[in-house]
Amino acid sequence: MSQFYSHRDLEFQLFENLDLQQLTQYPFFADHSSDTFKMVLDAAKEIAIRSLRPLLTEMDRKEPVLENGKIKIHPGMKAIVKQFGEDGWINATFPYDEGGQQLPWTVHLAAGYILQAANYSASVFPFLTTGAANLIRTFGTLEQTARFTPKMYAGDWQGTMALTEPDAGSSLSDLTTSATPTEDPEIYKIKGQKIYISCGDHDACDNIINLLLARIEGAPAGTKGISLFIVPQKNPETGESNDVLTEGLYHKMGYKGAPIAHLMLGSNDNCMGYLVGEANQGLKYMFQMMNEARLGVGMNAVAIATAAYQASLAYAKERPQGRKINEKDLRKPQVPIIEHADVKRMLLFQKSITEGALALLLYCSWLSDQISQEQDLDKKKGLESLLDLLTPIAKSYPSEMGLQTTSAAVQVLGGAGYTTDFPVEQYYREARIHPIHEGTTGIHGIDLLGRKVVINDGLGWKTLMGEIQKDLQRAKSIESLSEMISTFQMHLKVSNECLIKQIAKMKQGPEVFLADATLFLELCGHLTVGWMWIRQAITAQSKTESEGKSDFYKGKLNTAQYFMEYEIVKIQSLVTRLSSNEFPTIKMTAEQF
Amino acid sequence: MSQFYSHRDLEFQLFENLDLQQLTQYPFFADHSSDTFKMVLDAAKEIAIRSLRPLLTEMDRKEPVLENGKIKIHPGMKAIVKQFGEDGWINATFPYDEGGQQLPWTVHLAAGYILQAANYSASVFPFLTTGAANLIRTFGTLEQTARFTPKMYAGDWQGTMALTEPDAGSSLSDLTTSATPTEDPEIYKIKGQKIYISCGDHDACDNIINLLLARIEGAPAGTKGISLFIVPQKNPETGESNDVLTEGLYHKMGYKGAPIAHLMLGSNDNCMGYLVGEANQGLKYMFQMMNEARLGVGMNAVAIATAAYQASLAYAKERPQGRKINEKDLRKPQVPIIEHADVKRMLLFQKSITEGALALLLYCSWLSDQISQEQDLDKKKGLESLLDLLTPIAKSYPSEMGLQTTSAAVQVLGGAGYTTDFPVEQYYREARIHPIHEGTTGIHGIDLLGRKVVINDGLGWKTLMGEIQKDLQRAKSIESLSEMISTFQMHLKVSNECLIKQIAKMKQGPEVFLADATLFLELCGHLTVGWMWIRQAITAQSKTESEGKSDFYKGKLNTAQYFMEYEIVKIQSLVTRLSSNEFPTIKMTAEQF
């Protein structure tokens, strides 16, 4: 079986490039060490290879089916979900007194990366349960936590996030699922329908615990009138139906192993929902979890792109075709295609994006771990602003660029890549979901430019610039990086000038200001991942000096150079467009298309 | 059924933007007129809607199967292939005395665009037969033509191009299929295997006529020792097996309705091949047809991208979600998503690429029609140089950009676009083949920079510059286009400067010279399609003046502006990279990945 991720790179990212040790200074993580972290990664590798990877292709080919109102998934998933529970993956980051291991989220996410790269569909199940359980334990009552979470942690019950409705996708303020009070102030009768609910029904678990947004009768319009409910598929004690019916199963282009359901709630007027926290605070609660979910999606995107990169790398090293371009003697044997510059370009493209985005996501989760434990409120506020700013980038950059890198993986294999004989076509289809779910790229562009960049008087952006400057200071003394650094600094400068121009457009109203927010988001992706490559180059260079030259570190340095030569320069074209005052997209009417 | 292409735009392209009438001055086309051309397009529309479109989804879901050594395809294809024959599509461009209609290839390609947009898989069958028959009638004997082509024209027999072998894909010089002379100088015994043969076996036709490359025993090594053979699946007269066995059927990510076969030739030492033309001239013959095939692939890519664009446009006009960004009143109804600037950006992106690439392909086929008839040898040579130069661009730009535009179509639909409820996910999968077949994008980059740009002392590039200047002269007097023109001219200038730098790198050897040929190809795509938008803007502006303002022409002008604002600026980042003298892709070793 070929490699689907690089354990060596993951350890470099966590233990050489990131100061993970720092987290163990917080009391919550104090029992941990590099050794326990490495054990977690090894355990993830073990379950990935033994349980998840063998089902990768089969779960794609044998799609879930809807029979008699019940979704049936691949029979192998039951044991996997149970194993995730028994091995403690679902609640690994939660406190000891809740049965957790107080593991930093960074390590948990890194372990998730291994599982996702092995088999994205299979990895979705526990990921969703963790998110749903976290909502209950954070905002619900102790009684709710005791009632619902233990079986979720055990892998017996599936958790979901039920937000989308037929008329409320990106526009959550328009959701209409209703909640009618009963005599019990905790219990409401739920009526409505939810679509695109990942793992919203399947037969690998005994119950499905939907964390669902609905509107209590008489609540204010828009997002201020949305409440959060626990809506189990079956009554947790009696096992009786809670009037949550599976109306449909969506057939998708990719990650076919994970079912996406259309749910009908309260068709028989008998669907009970348990209010979580206060009424009308649902969206706020959901969004606190959604930030983690968004980084999770970014990581999913990196993981799939990584698996595709590794598959194309293995192929390129083995497949003979053609000769070196300056070799005219046809009697010489063909060379492996990795010897061709254009193939190396496609591989470096993938390596630079996947390893750069992985660095960004681990950096973000490392910020998140600090935020969760930090007692110094000023420091905490700065870290929060930075993480808030980086989240839409860390979700969108790997999602969008992952489409291009998985495409490059297909291209490296040529005709073979288009056939089902190799997994890259599956990765190409699976990757396509990520720019869509957990907020489309367009939504994240508006979130970044319209909110994250401007709130708190620009604290997030200022913090980002401060952190970048610290790394540039570190790099200053390293002569061999000077060209790379000057390229990066030039792009940093034009990006800042561009931002000032964007802010100036606020005067022209939100439509003009945000018309190209998606492009600004793209620009910030190239810039921040460029920064991640500066950080990796500094680490690799220092290791090269202390430990002698190795292919691994030389490869890192070459890839950093590749990024500055081929990727970060994309900022230039974006800046030209963003600096313009012509707006054909606003001018164009529906009739003119 | 929603629209899958714009007939209005196609007529604009052919009859307003392109001087199609000019072709009828050549005696070969003299019987034709705009009216007969329009009848052909109407006929294509009719068969597309009535026969091809209804099978689009079904042919994707019910894949061909290999049973008892025979590939079975969708049963509906038999009637379609026969109809293509009976309606005269397969030999429409050939002379009257061969049963053809002497139709300009431009019109034939435009008609093909309609069929391809309706159902790409179904459109592949006649397209391949035309190409194979054209090889026989052009390079074969009169006897071969009489023996094989009539049943191909009738749709009874399928034609194929059999080039690729397990060890010879991009590197055709390494092919090993052998041809052993027999007593009859026309007949050779063929032995070997061919892979990825489109329509290489199926049950909608009575025979398969493979146009196959093989090496006659003792022939020179490399491309100079390759000969072309007609290798029918069955003996044309007796119907007996010609020892061409179907060893396998490839399962693909997309265009599943068209089977791709793995063929074994001469397993029983009984496979006869009929030599076409002279020995060892096979690759030269094949390449003369391949240029047309490459433009055909470019058109396929445009057609699929067009269908995806139209599907997303229809959805955007109907799907209500959210409100205008400056509307705070949530009681107002939601607006169709086409009202959001970012959605319009994604639609303009698609419109600008698909209509710009369509213009380029029709321009190329219009050159090809002139070349085929032109008697003035100097003029002919200039046209040939221009077409040779444009061919790799016209194949690759729509193929590569089509991946991005079909992706944008998926994105416009959001979650719905990822499901099989809408056709965009199918288009996304189908589009992925085009950067691979008929020469990968990397191969075309090397062809463009390493050959087409430099041969004949740069005649092709000079001719291109001359033609562009003519259009810029025409545009000069149109005040409203001045900003667009100056943006284009600036990018034309930097592109020329960049080319000079590329040429200067020849001194450093072919590896450095061609390391970024793919990026240079990309640059030329943005530039030439930008030129096509200048041409369309001139036409639209003049029509606006003569016929009053209409949404159609205003839409064209906005889209031209969009292209100059958002697309052609991509040249800047490419130029920066191409101007560099750092080569991380060459430096990187296999071990460093």
pLDDT in tens, A390-419: 999 999 999 999 999 999 999 999 999 999
Handedness of CA A563, A567, A572, A577 (dihedral sign): negative
Topology (CATH) of A159-280: Butyryl-CoA Dehydrogenase, subunit A; domain 2 (2.40.110)
CA–CA distances in Å: residue B404 to residues A115, A187, A404, B46, B399: 28, 48, 9, 30, 9
Residue of chain A minimizing CA distance to B590:
A338
Cβ pair B562:A555 closer than 8 A: no
Residues of chain A within CATH 1.10.540.10 domain(s) are: 7-157
Helix pair A120-139, A142-153: axis angle to 10 deg? 160
Tell me the angle at which helices A105-118 and A341-373 cross, rounded to the nearest 10 degrees.
Answer: 140
> Per-residue pLDDT for A501 more than 90?
yes
* Cβ pair B443, B170 in contact under 8 A: yes
- A565/B577 CB distance under 8 A: yes
- Contacts for A150 with CB less than 8 Å, ≥ 6 apart: A99
Q: Which of B169, B432, B572 has its CB closest to that of A410?
A: B432
**B211-257 per-position pLDDT tens digit:** 999 999 999 999 999 999 999 999 999 999 999 999 999 999 999 99
Q: Which CATH superfamily is domain A7-157 in?
A: Acyl-CoA dehydrogenase/oxidase, N-terminal domain (1.10.540.10)
Helices within B448-516 (DSSP H only): 455-476, 482-504, 510-514
Q: Kindly identify which residue of chain B lies nearest to residue A561, measuring between CA atoms.
A: B584
Q: Determine the CATH number of domain B158-280.
A: 2.40.110.20
User: What is the rounded distance in angstroms from the CA atom of residue A203 to the CA atom of residue A77?
Assistant: 9
Cβ distance of A587 and B324 shorter than 8 Å: no
Calculate how close chain A gets to B592, using CA atoms only, in Å.
4
Q: Which are the contacts of A405, defined by CB distance < 8 A and separation ≥ 6?
A: A305, A308, A309, A349, A350, A353, A354
Residues 6+ apart with CB under 8 A from B97: none
- Under DSSP, is residue A67 helix (H, G, I), strand (E, B) or coil? strand
pLDDT band at A228 (very low <50, low <70, confident <90, very high): very high
Place of tokens 């090993």: B176
Which helix (H) or strand (E) is B245 found in, with range?
A: strand B244-249
**Category of B243 on φ-ψ map: left (φ > 0), alpha (ψ -120 to 50) or beta:** left
pLDDT confidence band for B326 (50 / 70 / 90): confident
Contact B419 A251 (CB under 8 A): yes
Q: What is the mean pLDDT of residues A330-337?
A: 92
* pLDDT tens readout for residues B122-165: 999 999 999 999 999 999 999 999 999 999 999 999 999 999 99
For B2-61, the pLDDT digits (tens) are 799 999 999 999 999 998 989 999 999 999 999 999 999 999 999 999 999 999 999 999
**Residues A111-132 as b or e (16 or more Cβ within 10 Å = b):** bbbbbbbbbbbbbbbbbbbbbb
CB-based contact B344 A588, cutoff 8 Å? yes
For chain B, residues classed under CATH 2.40.110.20 are 158-280
Contact (CB<8Å) A407/B410 = no
Taking an 8 Å cut-off on Cβ atoms, the answer to whether A518 and B342 are in contact is yes
**Is the pLDDT at A478 greater than 70, yes or no?**
yes
pLDDT in tens, B460-473: 999 999 999 999 99
* Closest residue by Cα to residue B14 from B113, B83, B139: B113
Per the structure block, which two tokens stand in for B316?
A: 């955007």
For residue A200, how many C-alpha atoms fall within 13 Å in the half-sphere facing its CB? 28
Name B165's bridge partners: B168
Are the C-beta atoms of residues B322 and B334 closer than 8 Å to each other?
yes
pLDDT (tens digit per residue) in A158-193: 999 999 999 998 888 899 999 999 999 999 999 999
| H or E element in which residue A260 lies | strand A260-265
- Spatial neighbors of A358 by CB under 8 A, at least 6 apart, are A9, A10, A13, A113, A299, A302, A306
The pLDDT of residue B344: 98
Chain A residues touching residue B437 (CB < 8 angstroms): 415
Architecture of the CATH domain B7-156: Orthogonal Bundle (1.10)
Tell me the β-bridge partners of B202.
none
Q: At CA A214, angle to CA A209 and CA A216, rounded to 5?
A: 125
Residue B492 half-sphere exposure toward CB, CA atoms < 13 A: 20
CATH class assigned to B285-325+333-578: mainly alpha
pLDDT of B74 above 70: yes
* Contact between A573 and B577 using a beta-carbon 8 Å cutoff: no
Enumerate the CATH 1.10.540.10 domain ranges in chain B, comma separated.
7-156
Give the closest-approach CA distance of A178 to chain B in angstroms.
17
pLDDT in tens, B369-418: 999 999 999 999 999 999 999 999 999 999 999 999 999 999 999 999 99
**pLDDT in the model for residue B583:** 97
Predicted TM-score (pTM) of this structure: 0.98
Q: Considering only alpha carbons, which residue of chain B is nearest residue A563?
A: B584
pLDDT band of A326, cuts 50, 70, 90: confident
SS3 B237: coil
User: Residue B287's pLDDT is what?
Assistant: 87
Residues B585, A344: C-beta atoms closer than 8 Å: yes
The DSSP secondary-structure symbol of B257 reads T
Task: Share the mean pLDDT of chain A.
Answer: 96
pLDDT of residue A262: 98
* SS3 category, A246: strand
Cβ of A590 and B317 within 8 Å?
Answer: yes
Closest C-alpha to A369, from A10, A25, A12: A25
Q: In which band, very low, low, confident or very high, does the pLDDT at A1 lie, cut at 50, 70 and 90?
A: low
Q: Which of B435, B450, B169, B516 minimizes the C-alpha distance to A340?
A: B516
Alpha-carbon distance A494 to A486, whole Å?
13
Q: What percent of chain B has pLDDT over 70?
A: 99
Number of Cβ within a 10 Å radius of residue A280: 17
Q: Which of A224, A327, A580, A593 to probe by mutation at the B interface, max B CB count within 10 Å? A: A593
**Residues in chain B within 8 Å Cβ distance of A558:** 584, 587-588, 592
At A288 the pLDDT is 80
Instruction: Evaluate if residue B1 carries a pLDDT over 60.
Output: no
- Domain ranges in chain B with CATH number 1.20.140.10: 285-325+333-578
Using left for φ > 0, alpha for ψ between -120 and 50, and beta otherwise, residue B262 falls in: beta
Residue pair B71/B64 in contact by the 8 Å Cβ criterion: yes
- Model confidence at B288, pLDDT cuts 50, 70, 90, reads confident
- For chain B, the residue count is 593
Q: How far is B151 from chain A (nearest CA, A)?
A: 30
A563: closest CA of chain B, how far (Å): 9
Is A414 in contact with B169 (Cβ distance < 8 A)? yes
- Residue of chain A nearest B323, judged by CA positions: A171
Total CB pairs under 8 A between chain A and B: 273
Fold of A285-578: Butyryl-CoA Dehydrogenase, subunit A; domain 3 (1.20.140)
For A403, the closest of B407, B419, B421 (CB atoms) is B407
Using CB atoms, pick whichever of B174, B250, B348 lies closest to residue A334: B174
Residue B108 has pLDDT above 60, yes or no: yes
Q: What is the pLDDT of residue A143?
A: 97
Q: Is B253 close to A167, i.e. CB distance below 8 A?
A: no
Q: Does the pLDDT of residue A516 top 80, yes or no?
A: yes
Q: What is the pLDDT averaged over residues A430-443? A: 97
Q: Is the pLDDT of residue A6 over 90?
A: yes
Mean per-residue pLDDT, B496-525: 97
Chain A residue with Cα closest to B198:
A415
